[in-house]
Structure 1
């Protein structure tokens, strides 16, 4: 990791935000991709803006982008870009989507940015440093027990049948003493920023791709939390895409056990 890399990651988020904001709650073209997910003009404009900067400044680095695919790396470093994580929320005019920027070195995320360009909220995580939220340290909160933990996921409809059953088992354990405390739905990457800032205890998702989770890892872990797959293993470029984010690492064994039971 070079000294200028963090600055570049933030400039990439700045460029994406400048491209996205004119489209928010406005008219824009929408298409459906091969995987049935939507893509808008804003998604493509934001990723194109980020790729131009990387190609001009670090032409030998790789790029892994949701909209424009993979450019191979000659350095062992790749910039992983999700211009709008939460396109459905963006289309609905809900400012809980975000731009994700990550630097991955030899398969491991070392820098992550979660940027909400409308609310102007930004989490920056760097391996070995405290996570910053709008320039000030962010700290996840302790969670004395799984019962009572605030759990979030983007949508239960994104789980397959087995994953959905596992998630509901976890929700049941977290709601054992208060049946009215259900999970929080919606939020995409924004939920992980809220874990880092101590407002949510646990996020569980499955079927994510590298561009969905690479930036989240340094953010959550730099705030004192942990991120792993459903087996408790660290996340890297080869991970399958099932994800746990915990504000309090002491609850990891409980969460893994609940999902596996």
Structure 2
């Protein structure tokens, strides 16, 4: 029997390896929520096919071969011993379908991310890290567990052309044209949330970054996000995984 690697293109295999690495790095940083969040990536090629985690597998167990290939409706398009969480794909399929540039969509339930999502003011301009997220940030109000297909159009409308989203009372989302950039975006937004919560917990008066500086960042958003460094950081991330949690590329 052919291995998964033998059945797919070289480009798809690279996407599988990078996506499996992203899952394992989420686990490394403690951002996972058992088996209940998702990172999806579009398979290179004309078909609208996507890779997502096998339902029930811990993030630090995900491998390139175990990722499940599905269509926009969440139906498997390649034989797999694993199933996916259909509810989990509602958010991802909505973004992938609406945004051709969203080659990777990452949605997490981090403690810091959810905590900031419950704050009326949302993410505040308190740190240099927060500026990148704020330059392309949107919000989506909580509608319950993502089971309702009708929510997709509202989520997409709220997302618009942004690459960072805070889902109120729920968590964080990033999308990008590469897995490396989606991961870096999540790293930056998560770090921004952590900094905000620690600063607020100090009980001291906080110094917000001025609107003038924030406006300048927003004006340069496209230039900033395209040079954010995902491709620069990613090889080092893979080397780190090779040392600490090898096997993701199998």
TM-score scaled to structure 2, two decimals?
A: 0.28
Asked which structure has the greater RCO (Cα within 8 Å, sep 6+), the reply is 2
Structure with the larger strand share: 1
